[in-house]
Structure 1
């Protein structure tokens, strides 16, 4: 009965104010609130015009977008090997999307804030699909490369037709004569340029995807439901990295040319997987996702009804938005202490945590001697599974218990300190055998035993001595000949840089060789770092879970600390600032850091290519301590957020509570005498 009186009173108020109810219904059922586009419209699609359906579709699209950028992260080391790219250059390629974000994010998010945001999001997905297509083009133009083809059976068969056995065996792995020509490989920067252009275009797509999409989701749902929707959307997005790393793992198990039979296994550091296959699939699924996202209306019918009843605000035409309006919005954001302090805390956190997002597979490969496939699978399954669990649990807790803004800021402070503690654990989790193997592998390079050889520009082709010492190549070991044993394995003989021949044990079928020959086996010496790798994986999963629990609260603070009219612009401007101060410099700085600890470079006559062996111990200490220090400094800004967020309102009152208050007001107006009597 009370609800009927409320509706009746609203109708009378509208009538007294001269508002035509029929006109309201027409406005609510206009093209702005209708699903579809062009000929794809109708009542059948209109039932999908709900906030929950947008969360699902947008979350799935976020999943595919995250999948694309994660796929790039997982294939970085393979692309470095294929195109001889140093890590600092790959770090520069990585920031290409952040550079474009700097120039596009604030402007695009501002002008898209009151436009048809789902279609802006769809345009962003199409641009990301173009990014995937451009990432594929270097393989189309250059193929798998001669280095990879040399390690296939088909290459050896084709070479044997035009050369004698002696010429075939005298390859780049063995000793060259003095004053021989170095390995001629002209430095071609075209693949690097193509990768950078692809990343640059991808950043524009991300600018159009995230800020308009998140603000559209928040504006078209009740504030009490926003935490749950954000957590579910983030959960669906977190499936993207898991799926991306899984795809990387599957693709890298295939050789870069799947139609040829490789002579090495996936555990060999020279293995190059089929990094290019995944880009084909990603191009198609992102294009299809753009179609589904673009079908949503400019504004949900229920959301428009709530907005019109609240303040009667109408849309400002895109042409009517001036540059001065944007400056006014910027001034409001600059004077918002919660927004500024939260941004400063996030900048330092992102700067310190960025190398773990980009270089984690590479870190696992060089620190714990795992294959590229295993490294990406571990990063993309277990670790991201814990991240997804953290997002879901935090979303449930926030939705159920509705903590205050101060409580959320305090939890972000706790997350920072737990992250710092985990990074200090990374420093302690090292593999001594790997450190020893890396340091020993470079000792013989300047030795007199290989002085008669020219080994500086040979291919990286490690061999293992009987003392379990890895040499960069048979040339660096001073070997002169090679043979194939009955097991099909390559054995190098006459290796003058090896230890005493009496220490050789259990090498099969070497008795047929000269008794005084010093022998090496093809491939790097085995190193067991599995125990340390499992400890590292456990700590990483813990950090992923803890860090994910702070994402929903941090995003909710960012959305609620600004006025509704500045929401989309604040997200876009934040993306621009994060790109300038965190996303761009961090990969470059840490890429340079990785290169500074390189022990063995893949040199050519004209350039220095990718790194093959690192000083893992020094790298582990420096990288983790620097990251922990940055996040520790950022935690103090969260104290400022906690202090200034004391009066910030995160959740609106429930609809039931509002209705109850309205019904009480009606009863008080209708029965004032009864109330006075009761009070007396």
Structure 2
């Protein structure tokens, strides 16, 4: 009885195991939150960066993809060597690098000058004098003495900072998930992974909310008098305080590194499987337990040279698994669709439904992202409740993805018409359906002024048509100042208006039509529903990845999976999505010293077709690979079951032999007990 009582050391081992496991789960969840926060905030500032640095969408895609470039540089080595070293401390170092990269992204704001807006609006508060928007000379002639600003290359700092942020994020997922899988029971692994990923989804919620808040604040807040800023957050030239959020997310990433410094390389494991002071989660680390054999890796080499020597054979072993290769193909294609869609979804909401950047980010954070979090958590609960195996998880993930795909087809029908912009989408007489060759910003009504065709200073006429500038609207005078400026005697407004009088125009584009506003709530509802259904298969699909490979290859498999998705999806998807979106631009902005800048207005119909068409087309292709993957996975499962049945028969035969030996011992011995020595003698 005394020998069976747990010693003080064993009690401490059980207690320490429980504490360290809980601390690691909490720390990993916070690290996931921090990296998701900074990543989602980066996507929420896509429009702001594009306008601030006057760059097209494809270049923004390169900046966004630079995060994956950082991952690409180190992911394979971190996943392989990191799994054999001190995983918590490597994660801590990664979090520190991630924070430094985030701070570097914000640095250009403190280097370049103030943001300048091309506008014909008078900044003075004195409204007694009128100002003619018609220039006395050509605006292009005033650019001769323009000095090129250093802000043209400032986006390079954002690019490099995002690369460093990607390097720092590298060890969090592969080392963190493999650490959890090594020290939790098989039936609880899916739930723990689901919980960690669900908490990480909270990061994008706060990321987009932070992006919404910063987008409302003017970029040079504290440096300029806000009364002199004549544009609103709904204007295509508005730039929010994008830099402020990066300072906040960088500080949070730095905080996430602290707990990992105090965690051990491996958790203390009880050695006695009959230790009643330990809960089942703790006593499952018994090397002779047949249900836990997949948790233990073989002894690792003692030096880096031997580890490096074994890297290539290990990699060949992993890539020789056809199920794993097909799984990679499916996820790469689906990640191309997902990353491209998520990157430009706030911009799609802005351009297609006429919402401000602040509102688009707010809706993404408060409506769309929580649906994804609930879906991922629910997927983990379903796996635990119904104890889904490998095939069950694969069928569940495929079914939810297919259902979400069919729901997404309805997005194609939820379109809005182009905004009425004179000379771009409609003629100056209000006739819609201009072809590209017939578009012209110049007309008889504005021929009396030397108007620039490169400016974008929109005004809304009383007739509901937007004009590119007050000059192109034919306005000859103005009253008021700042945001209250009103342009009078606009001759072009009279061409598409039936009534006469003092025709005026006000600052900004005309609001979207009521029909588009009525469609927008349905778009949001369908977006939430489809996001929830698709994300249901996220956790089962992730568990499928780590269950279709050998236990000793888990960390490397997760690393290669991350490497492949980052390289073949995370890097190219934002670039070619952005390049295709650029083809739908109707009016480009121009930099102060010449050269094309950011797009001011898009063809909403073409934008919808290329954006949704490319997203759904990629997912269609992925389903063909899913069918082949199912066939191979089914054969793989049958082969594993056959091997397990063969091993079970061998064990049963061994037990029968032991039982027969015991019976023979009882028959031939005359003593009360049959000792091993006695049995051998007989």
TM range (shorter): 0.7 to 0.9
**Secondary structure of residue in 2 paired with 1:623:** helix
Structure 1 position 263, deviation (Å): 3.6
2:537 aligned residue: 550
Q: Which of 314, 335, 338 is the matching residue for 2:323? A: 338
- The structure-2 alpha-carbon separation of the partners of 1:312 and 1:179, relative to structure 1 and needing over 3 Å to count, comes to closer
Whole-angstrom distance in 2 between the partners of 1:176 and 1:128: 52
Structure 1 position 180, deviation (Å): 4.7
2:548 aligned residue: 561
Q: Deviations for 1:284-327, whole angstroms, at most 9, x for unmatched residues? A: 11111101123221111239982755569444335244444221
1:355 aligned residue: 340
Q: Which of 613, 618, 633 is the matching residue for 2:606? A: 618
Matched, 1:406 2:391: yes
Matched, 1:243 2:206: yes
Matched, 1:115 2:85: yes
Q: Under a length normalisation based on structure 2, what TM-score does the superposition of the two structures give?
A: 0.82
**Secondary structure of residue in 2 paired with 1:286:** helix
- The structure-2 alpha-carbon separation of the partners of 1:501 and 1:221, relative to structure 1 and needing over 3 Å to count, comes to closer
Alpha carbons 2:231, 2:238 under 8 Å: kept: yes
2:478 aligned residue: 482
Whole-angstrom distance in 1 between the partners of 2:57 and 2:518: 27
Alpha carbons 2:401, 2:533 under 8 Å: kept: no
- Paired residues, number: 616
Matched, 1:177 2:137: yes
- The structure-2 alpha-carbon separation of the partners of 1:422 and 1:142, relative to structure 1 and needing over 3 Å to count, comes to farther
Whole-angstrom distance in 2 between the partners of 1:339 and 1:483: 69
Q: Which of 481, 494, 497 is the matching residue for 1:499? A: 494
Whole-angstrom distance in 1 between the partners of 2:60 and 2:426: 28
Matched, 1:55 2:25: yes
1:536 aligned residue: 523
Whole-angstrom distance in 1 between the partners of 2:197 and 2:297: 32
2:442 aligned residue: 446
2:627 aligned residue: 639
Q: Deviations for 1:513-549, whole angstroms, at most 9, x for unmatched residues? A: xx5x542222211114322211111111112111211
Whole-angstrom distance in 1 between the partners of 2:446 and 2:286: 80
Alpha carbons 2:349, 2:360 under 8 Å: kept: yes
Structure 1 position 212, deviation (Å): 1.2
Whole-angstrom distance in 2 between the partners of 1:459 and 1:390: 46
**Secondary structure of residue in 2 paired with 1:316:** coil
**Secondary structure of residue in 1 paired with 2:470:** coil
Whole-angstrom distance in 1 between the partners of 2:420 and 2:301: 62
Whole-angstrom distance in 1 between the partners of 2:45 and 2:395: 37
Whole-angstrom distance in 1 between the partners of 2:139 and 2:316: 67
Whole-angstrom distance in 1 between the partners of 2:420 and 2:464: 13
Matched, 1:596 2:583: yes
Whole-angstrom distance in 1 between the partners of 2:456 and 2:421: 19
Alpha carbons 1:252, 1:273 under 8 Å: kept: yes
Please list, as runs of the form range in 1=range in 2, the aligned pairs for 1:79-158 lying within 5 A after superposition.
79-147=49-117, 156=124
Whole-angstrom distance in 1 between the partners of 2:305 and 2:549: 22
Q: Which of 383, 408, 423 is the matching residue for 2:368? A: 383
2:196 aligned residue: 233
- The structure-2 alpha-carbon separation of the partners of 1:141 and 1:178, relative to structure 1 and needing over 3 Å to count, comes to closer
1:512 aligned residue: none
Q: Deviations for 1:34-84, whole angstroms, at most 9, x for unmatched residues? A: 9xxxxxxxx9xx576433332222112211110001111101101211221
Q: Deviations for 1:445-474, whole angstroms, at most 9, x for unmatched residues? A: 132433454444654221011210011111
- The structure-2 alpha-carbon separation of the partners of 1:597 and 1:433, relative to structure 1 and needing over 3 Å to count, comes to closer
Please list, as runs of the form range in 1=range in 2, the aligned pairs for 1:26-37 lying within 5 A after superposition.
none
1:509 aligned residue: none
Structure 1 position 488, deviation (Å): 7.0
2:458 aligned residue: 462
**Secondary structure of residue in 1 paired with 2:564:** helix
Whole-angstrom distance in 1 between the partners of 2:107 and 2:136: 36
Whole-angstrom distance in 1 between the partners of 2:152 and 2:233: 28
1:40 aligned residue: none
- The structure-2 alpha-carbon separation of the partners of 1:636 and 1:47, relative to structure 1 and needing over 3 Å to count, comes to same
Whole-angstrom distance in 2 between the partners of 1:579 and 1:432: 36
Whole-angstrom distance in 1 between the partners of 2:112 and 2:630: 54
Alpha carbons 2:462, 2:503 under 8 Å: kept: no
- The structure-2 alpha-carbon separation of the partners of 1:502 and 1:381, relative to structure 1 and needing over 3 Å to count, comes to closer
Q: Which runs of 5+ in 2 are unaligned?
A: 272-282, 428-433, 642-647, 668-682
Alpha carbons 1:493, 1:519 under 8 Å: kept: yes
